[in-house]
């Protein structure tokens, strides 16, 4: 069923060239939604990107991508100007997905005294960079799209959080703080923009084998521990998460807003 086909509805996916964002782009495209991906990748990654983007294009939907810094306000305005032109007078943004993963994974205390003196441990600016990239940028993009009057009458704002929102993990303090901030922003969008038909939710994904996870020190131990504690004995996959983004984008999900939805196969029960 391609329920979004021919409705001229778009998904803007921030961080959509890999992991959860890419899986989401592919899933929504399969159901007929037009896709705009904003990503930041090196030249060496372009070939792989285009291979993935070609899969999306084959779904017979409109597709555009921007390899720019999503955190740069001037770049954001340029992207939105192009999107506005692409959408025309009738196209609207149905779904905004925030999947930006840019944060500092430093410890609060170092076993190496020399490292501590050379800022090898978490500093104030590490928190600021991480929270701005992984949380406040959602509001920056949301507000800009809203100001451009690009949202559909029944728009969905979806972002990704993790169990680190309540559970402390080593080296995860800055990202954990960002996730909590992201959730707070999402809830307030849900509350304050409900009169405009906007719904906002966070998906709390289980441990997923992505590039972002593999950047976390001792990620292999995290995966092994997850396989033991998950009732199904499996890691969460990007497709598991993308499926729920799709469900939240459907008309039937219109009464779900301001909440955190766990997509972890019961992992957080243990």
82-141 confidence digits (pLDDT tens) = 999 999 989 999 999 999 988 888 899 887 655 545 568 999 999 999 999 999 999 999
pTM of the model: 0.94
What residue ranges do the domains of the chain occupy?
Answer: 9-269
Residue partners of 44: CB distance under 8 A and separation at least 6: none
Q: Which CATH superfamily is domain 9-269 in?
A: NAD(P)-binding Rossmann-like Domain (3.40.50.720)
Tokens of 23: 């899986």
Which residues are bridge partners to 64 per DSSP? 36
| Residue pLDDT, tens place only, 170-217 | 889 999 999 999 999 999 999 999 999 999 999 999 999 887 777 777
């Amino acid at each position: 069923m391609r329920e979004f086909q021919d409705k001229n509805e778009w998904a803007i996916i921030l961080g959509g060239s890999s992991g959860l964002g890419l899986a989401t782009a592919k899933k929504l495209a399969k159901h007929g939604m037009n896709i705009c991906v904003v990503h930041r990748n090196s030249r060496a990654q372009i070939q792989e990107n285009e291979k993935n983007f070609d899969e999306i294009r084959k779904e017979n939907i409109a597709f555009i991508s921007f390899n720019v810094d999503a955190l740069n306000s001037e770049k954001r305005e340029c992207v939105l100007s192009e999107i506005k032109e692409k959408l025309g007078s009738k196209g609207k943004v149905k779904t905004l997905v925030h999947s930006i993963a840019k944060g500092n994974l430093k410890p609060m205390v170092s076993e190496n005294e020399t490292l501590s003196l050379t800022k090898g441990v978490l500093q104030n600016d590490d928190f600021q960079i991480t929270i701005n990239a992984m949380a406040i940028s959602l509001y920056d993009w949301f507000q800009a799209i809203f100001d451009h009057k690009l949202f559909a009458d029944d728009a969905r704002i979806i972002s990704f959080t993790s169990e680190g929102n309540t559970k402390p993990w080593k080296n995860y303090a800055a990202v954990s703080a960002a996730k909590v901030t992201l959730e707070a922003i999402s809830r307030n969008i849900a509350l304050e923009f409900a009169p405009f038909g906007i719904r906002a939710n966070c998906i709390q994904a289980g441990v997923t084998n992505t590039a972002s996870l593999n950047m976390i020190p001792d990620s292999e131990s995290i995966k092994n521990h997850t396989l033991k504690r998950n009732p199904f004995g499996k890691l969460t996959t990007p497709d598991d998460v993308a499926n729920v983004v799709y469900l939240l984008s459907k008309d039937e999900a219109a009464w779900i807003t301001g909440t955190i939805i766990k997509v972890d196969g019961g992992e957080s029960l243990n």
